[in-house]
């Protein structure tokens, strides 16, 4: 079932969903089950699976020279989605990114998803790889998530890259996209970022999932601004429970978000890692209670390999 159908059928009740990461290469599906099993009792409406593009490493050859090699540390998004749908009978949402793919490769991946009965996708640009200063699309690849939305919408209309195909079937993808309450880090300002967000929605995106935030007022202001700017699709808040002291610096530097003073001070003062987890869980509970009271469409948890803290929050708010 499509994410938008889940939201419609909820009749105003706040749904629960999670995002998981594919395991590191060499690990099996057991790691995925360990990430999902503790949360299945809360009946997630859908489970997102992230996509991780290649990285470049230098390996020493026998002749002593260095060889540049492309490695993918977390492959398997499509297979994991099919596995989740079979084992749990829960809709899976694979993340599809522009980076590292030509439009042809993307089309082929979308055809595979369609054959597997996966009709949800979250469409993203992806970030630059470490060796690049800024994001660079592949030759004949999509440069922005907007281009990817247009490609999927075309396929939903039966328009493939090869316009000589005859008697084609249309795909039937429900399209999610990303939104940033605290602005995407490359955008000169929030107004410009919203202009491009609206372009994705006008092109056919069905709903937005936000970047994580720790101050609900950022989300509420973002939703108001979206509505004022004619963005009327559901906006699902993304929640990440803080679990370590290091995240006080890592989360702002990786995700370009602010940590409110009160949370930062409390985590700073914590003496043990268990105390940090307590603070993170309590903060998320308060955040989620306020979001549920505001009737947000769904609470979407970035579990990042930590289902137990997510379970503790879910127990208190769902």
Chain residues in the site for ligand FAD (CB under 6 A): 50-51, 53, 95, 97, 124-127, 144-146, 178, 184, 186-187, 192-193, 196, 209, 211, 238
Toward ligand FAD, which CB reaches closer, 122 or 313? Answer: 122
CA distance 29 to 174: 26
Phi, psi angles (nearest 5°) of residue 280: -60, -45
Q: How far apart are CA 121 and CA 175, in angstroms?
A: 5
By C-beta, is 49 or 276 nearer to ligand FAD? 49
The nearer residue to ligand FAD, 124 or 174, going by C-beta atoms, is 124
End-to-end CA distance of the chain: 22
Identity of the residue, 48 or 279, whose beta carbon is nearer to ligand FAD in the bound complex: 48
Close Cβ partners of 272 (under 8 Å, ≥ 6 residues apart): none
Q: Which two tokens stand for residue 14?
A: 């706040």
Q: CB of residue 168 vs ligand FAD: minimum separation in angstroms?
A: 27
CB of 300 to ligand FAD, least distance (A): 8
Angle at CA 283, nearest 5°, toward 264 and 24? 85
> Is the Cα dihedral 127, 143, 189, 294 positive or negative?
negative
**CA separation for the pair 170, 184 (Å, rounded):** 32
181 vs 266, which CB is nearer to ligand FAD?
181
Min dist CB 163 to ligand FAD, Å, is 24
Distance in Å, CB of 166 to ligand FAD, minimum: 32
- CB of 11 vs ligand FAD, minimal distance in Å: 25
109 is written with which tokens?
């991946």
For 117, phi and psi rounded to 5 degrees? Answer: 80, 20
Closest separation between CB of residue 98 and ligand FAD, Å? Answer: 7
Given the structure tokens 């079979």, which residue do they identify?
86
**Cβ proximity to ligand FAD, 107 vs 193, nearer residue:** 193
> What phi, psi does 160 have (nearest 5°)?
-100, 170
């Amino acid at each position: 079932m499509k994410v938008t159908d889940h939201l419609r059928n909820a009749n105003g009740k706040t749904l629960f969903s999670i995002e998981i990461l594919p395991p590191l290469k060499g690990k099996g599906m057991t790691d995925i089950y360990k990430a999902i099993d503790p949360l299945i009792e809360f009946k997630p409406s859908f489970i997102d699976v992230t996509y991780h593009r290649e990285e470049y490493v230098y390996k020493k050859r026998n002749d002593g020279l260095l060889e540049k090699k492309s490695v993918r540390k977390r492959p398997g998004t499509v297979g994991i989605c099919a596995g989740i749908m079979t084992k749990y009978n829960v809709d899976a949402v694979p993340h599809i990114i522009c980076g590292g793919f030509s439009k042809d490769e993307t089309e082929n991946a979308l055809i595979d998803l369609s054959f597997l009965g996966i009709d949800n996708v979250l469409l993203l640009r992806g970030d630059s790889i470490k060796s690049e200063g800024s994001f660079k699309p592949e030759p004949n690849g999509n440069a922005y998530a907007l281009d990817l939305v247009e490609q999927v919408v075309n396929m939903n209309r039966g328009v493939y890259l090869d316009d000589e195909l005859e008697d084609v079937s249309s795909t039937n993808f429900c399209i999610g996209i990303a939104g940033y309450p605290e602005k995407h880090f490359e955008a000169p300002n929030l107004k410009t970022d919203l202009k491009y967000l609206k372009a994705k929605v006008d092109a056919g995106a069905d709903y937005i999932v936000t970047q994580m935030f720790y101050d609900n007022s950022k989300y509420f202001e973002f939703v108001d601004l979206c509505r004022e700017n004619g963005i009327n699709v559901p906006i699902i808040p993304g929640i990440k429970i803080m679990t370590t002291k290091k995240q006080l610096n890592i989360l702002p530097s990786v995700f370009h978000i602010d940590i409110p003073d009160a949370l930062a001070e409390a985590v700073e003062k914590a003496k043990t890692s268990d105390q940090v987890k307590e603070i993170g869980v309590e903060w998320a509970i308060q955040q989620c209670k306020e979001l549920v009271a505001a009737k947000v469409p769904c609470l979407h948890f970035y579990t990042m390999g930590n289902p137990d803290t997510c379970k503790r929050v879910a127990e208190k708010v769902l």
